[in-house]
Amino acid sequence: MTKEMKKNEIRVIKLSGDAIDELIWELMNKEGEQFLSLPDNSNTIFRLVWDRAKDELVFYALEFEHPHPINFEAIDRYINKHIRTTTDSMFSPDIDPFKVFFLDDVSAEIESPTRNTD
């Protein structure tokens, strides 16, 4: 690929939905540690859920003391119920764009579905 552009040259990228998913996933994985203020080389698992109908993207990292099956669906339900939009911009200076909660919060929600932790 050439780095030089000719006079009046236009270059375009037009993406399908799958390519958009791929692009967002790759960018969020690359920048996830910075966006979520994670330590370098942390042992985390990333998850991304893009609800196009709601015009909403959720990206989170999980760190577990002991490996065990992860109930992503329960975590997703907890986020949908308890977490509002965390930022209007990923690039606002001096503002963390994320909110923190713990797996215990999700577990308590599963055990007692009427519990509200807002």
Q: Which of 18-27, 41-50, 91-100, 109-118 shows the lowest mean pLDDT across its residues?
A: 109-118
Pairwise CA distance, residues 71 & 7, whole Å: 54
Q: Do the beta carbons of residue 46 and residue 60 sit within 8 Å? A: yes
State yes or no: pLDDT of 117 exceeds 60. no
What confidence score (pLDDT) does residue 39 get? 87
Q: pTM higher than 0.85 for the full model? A: no
**Tokens 């308890």 map to which residue?**
82
- Percent of the residues in the chain that have a pLDDT greater than 70, as a whole number: 89
Q: What is the pLDDT of residues 10-22, one digit of tens each?
A: 999 999 989 999 9
Pairwise CA distance, residues 1 & 12, whole Å: 14
Three-state DSSP at 6 gives coil
Domain boundaries, the chain: 17-111
Pairwise CA distance, residues 85 & 56, whole Å: 9
State yes or no: pLDDT of 30 exceeds 60. yes
What confidence score (pLDDT) does residue 63 get? 82
Q: How confident is the model at residue 118 (pLDDT cuts 50, 70, 90)?
A: very low
Three-state DSSP at 18 gives helix
Q: Mean pLDDT, the chain, as a whole number?
A: 86
Q: What is the pLDDT of residues 61-74, one digit of tens each?
A: 998 766 678 889 99
What confidence score (pLDDT) does residue 113 get? 54
